[in-house]
Amino acid sequence: MTTLFAPTALLPDGWADNVLIEIDRDGWIVGVDAFKAAPADGKDVETVAGALVPGMPNVHSHAFQRAMAGLTERAGGKKDNFWSWRETMYRFLIDLTPEDMEAIAAQTYVEMLKGGYTSVGEFHYIHHSREGKPYEDRALMSRQVIKAALEAGIAITHMPVLYAYSGFGAQPPAEAQKRFVNTVPEMMKIVAALEKDYATVPQVTLGFAHHSLRAVSPEMMREGTRAARDLLPQAPIHIHAAEQTTEVEGCLEWSGKRPVEWLLENGNVDERWSFIHCTHLAEAEMEALASSGVVVGLCPTTEANLGDGVFPLVPFFQAGGSFGIGSDSHISISVTEELRWLEYVQRLVLRERTVIKEPDNPSVGAVLFEQALAGGARALGRRTGKIEIGHRADFLVLDQSLPCMTGKLRDHILDTAIFAVNENPVKDVMAGGRWAIRDRHHKREEQILARYRETMSKFK
Ligand code: NGQ
Ligand code: ZN
């Protein structure tokens, strides 16, 4: 049992002072008591050195893509866009071995913890060898990613991705996609093997994903969802949707419907589903999405980096929609940067200020943070995002000693951390009851970085 004492903490109904939190050996919160007198600093109680807030779920990650960050910002002769970036990404993954996958993912997850995320939704689609053959253990690549998460100490919702086609109407997969391809029964072998090994590990949750409406047929999607539901009744199911106008056009041509519209009508979706991006929505589609219970996974830094477009967050949120945040391609990895972009892009488009808000909470930072916690926890199918009994002990300690944090209390702490702090405001990170980051340092970061450097030397 661990007991923490937080001089100030963000509880479900707001900020509270002098909070005692008890955590059991498996990483669950078993006691929360506010307004306790500060205990004598005995060995059994640890006082946290800053403002305690819930750790953020990262709803959408392709961990391996972190190794490409910074290599795709060079302008060539021809126009560069999402699709040309994707070709570079496909070239990059040709030589990726299972060892590389683990080394890169571990480094990504250490950076992710430092950036304020305590859980990650890994949308995992590189299943096979460079020849496109399944490994002897079909689930090998998945295991490498899960091992990396456990080594770093981040909780993972691992979602093996179903992928079969290169475009609408079941077009055969391209050569560059051969490492991704499975039938539903092949896919379920991976999910079942992982379920067998990780069902009782509290830091691991299993989910399932369809890559996109481009990559699975309607029949395959129905079959995959049914099989996943048989094995994992409550598991999250994710899918990419409507990130690019080309996808919307292709979908309209193929079905007469837009991707999100098609999914809401035919996907048999519910509140355990997340749609990632949904950048391009018609108004009625946006309203239907907001009332569907589906969580939208928004990845503002990647969406900006790839030139996707702008999600209509203000009307979506006003219509009651739920969202989580993800760092996706990991062009950068930071909760505060992701949330800052989320609000700023809307301000730039609307030419207004303070646009994401609630009638009873004028703090933009607090509303963004709490909405992303709630949507994120649901998207990952994990009991996290709240400092409350029965939830994971996933916390961030925000550094109140930074100059810019001077005199900032309660919601101003989040407003300042998100919009004003230059340096990383996340000082300590607890994930599943264990300190993963202390004073901005991860206890295995030197080893993980050394292995990452060795891996990267071959990608020169
Ligand atoms: C992915 N990434 O699966 O890694 C995608 C690109 C695609 C993002 N959408 C590939 N950011 O959508 O076909
Ligand atoms: Zn993605």
Which residues are annotated as catalytic? 277, 328
The CATH number of whichever domain residue 39 belongs to comes to 2.30.40.10
**From ligand 1's centre to the CA of 115, what distance in Å?**
22
Residues 6 or more apart in contact with residue 213 via CB below 8 angstroms: 168, 221, 239, 241, 247, 251, 259, 262, 263
Which ligand 1 atom is the nearest neighbour of the CA of 299? 11
Protein residue whose Cα sits closest to atom 2 of ligand 1 = 329
Q: Kindly state whether residue 41 falls inside one of the protein's structural domains.
A: yes
**Mutation test residue for ligand 1: of 66, 86, 246, the one with most atoms within 8 Å of CB:** 86
> For the chain, what is the domain count?
2
Decide: 86 in ligand 1 pocket, CB within 6 A.
yes
The CATH number of whichever domain residue 84 belongs to comes to 3.20.20.140
**From ligand 2's centre to the CA of 327, what distance in Å?**
9
Both 141 and 156 in one domain: the answer is yes
Protein residue whose Cα sits closest to atom 7 of ligand 1 = 86
Which ligand 1 atom is the nearest neighbour of the CA of 303? 11
Quickly list H helices, 66-161.
82-93, 98-114, 140-152
Decide: 305 in ligand 1 pocket, CB within 6 A.
no
Q: State yes or no: pLDDT of 399 exceeds 70.
A: yes
Q: Which one of 347, 380, 413 terminates a domain? A: 380
User: How far, in Å, CA of 58 to CA of 273, rounded?
Assistant: 15
Both 12 and 133 in one domain: the answer is no
Both 376 and 393 in one domain: the answer is no
Both 32 and 139 in one domain: the answer is no
Decide: 62 in ligand 1 pocket, CB within 6 A.
yes
* Predicted pLDDT of residue 182: 98
Decide: 240 in ligand 1 pocket, CB within 6 A.
yes
Decide: 91 in ligand 1 pocket, CB within 6 A.
no
Mean local confidence (pLDDT), 189-200:
98
Residue 36: band (very low, low, confident or very high) from pLDDT cuts 50, 70, 90: confident
Q: Kindly state whether residue 362 falls inside one of the protein's structural domains.
A: yes
For the record, the structure tokens of 108 come out as 């990504």
Residues 6 or more apart in contact with residue 5 via CB below 8 angstroms: 18, 19, 20, 21, 36, 38, 39, 45, 46, 47, 48
Both 27 and 105 in one domain: the answer is no
Give per-residue pLDDT as tens, 274-291: 999 999 999 999 999 999
Decide: 327 in ligand 1 pocket, CB within 6 A.
no
Percent above pLDDT 90 for the chain: 96
Both 307 and 423 in one domain: the answer is no
**From ligand 1's centre to the CA of 97, what distance in Å?**
20
Check: CB of residue 190 under 8 Å from CB of residue 146: no
Nearest ligand (C-alpha, residue 276): 2
Identify the CA nearest to 344 among candidates 257, 434, 419.
Answer: 419
**From ligand 1's centre to the CA of 414, what distance in Å?**
31
Decide: 144 in ligand 1 pocket, CB within 6 A.
no
For the record, the structure tokens of 23 come out as 């955590």
Both 343 and 431 in one domain: the answer is no
Mean local confidence (pLDDT), 433-448:
98
Protein residue whose Cα sits closest to atom 10 of ligand 1 = 86
Q: Kindly state whether residue 210 falls inside one of the protein's structural domains.
A: yes
Residue 195 buriedness (CB in 10 A; 0-12 / 13-18 / 19+)? middle
Both 431 and 335 in one domain: the answer is no
Mean local confidence (pLDDT), 93-105:
98
**Mutation test residue for ligand 1: of 60, 62, 87, 162, the one with most atoms within 8 Å of CB:** 62
Mean local confidence (pLDDT), 416-445:
98
* Predicted pLDDT of residue 431: 98
Mean local confidence (pLDDT), 426-449:
98
Q: Kindly state whether residue 438 falls inside one of the protein's structural domains.
A: yes
Which ligand 1 atom is the nearest neighbour of the CA of 212? 12
Average of per-residue pLDDT values in the chain = 97
Q: Which one of 380, 395, 418 terminates a domain? A: 380
Both 375 and 398 in one domain: the answer is no
Which ligand 1 atom is the nearest neighbour of the CA of 123? 3
Q: Kindly state whether residue 453 falls inside one of the protein's structural domains.
A: no
Both 397 and 416 in one domain: the answer is yes
Decide: 210 in ligand 1 pocket, CB within 6 A.
no
Mean local confidence (pLDDT), 126-132:
98
Structural domain boundaries enclosing 155: 55-380
Decide: 61 in ligand 1 pocket, CB within 6 A.
no
This prediction's pTM: 0.98
CB atoms under 10 Å from CB of 271, counted, come to 13
**From ligand 1's centre to the CA of 315, what distance in Å?**
26
Q: Kindly state whether residue 265 falls inside one of the protein's structural domains.
A: yes
Both 303 and 405 in one domain: the answer is no
* Predicted pLDDT of residue 292: 98
Residue 458: band (very low, low, confident or very high) from pLDDT cuts 50, 70, 90: confident
Q: Kindly state whether residue 455 falls inside one of the protein's structural domains.
A: no
* Predicted pLDDT of residue 40: 66
Residue 43: band (very low, low, confident or very high) from pLDDT cuts 50, 70, 90: low
Give per-residue pLDDT as tens, 200-234: 999 999 999 999 999 999 999 999 999 999 999 99
CA dihedral (40, 44, 47, 52) positive or negative: negative
Q: Kindly state whether residue 234 falls inside one of the protein's structural domains.
A: yes
Strand partners, 414: none
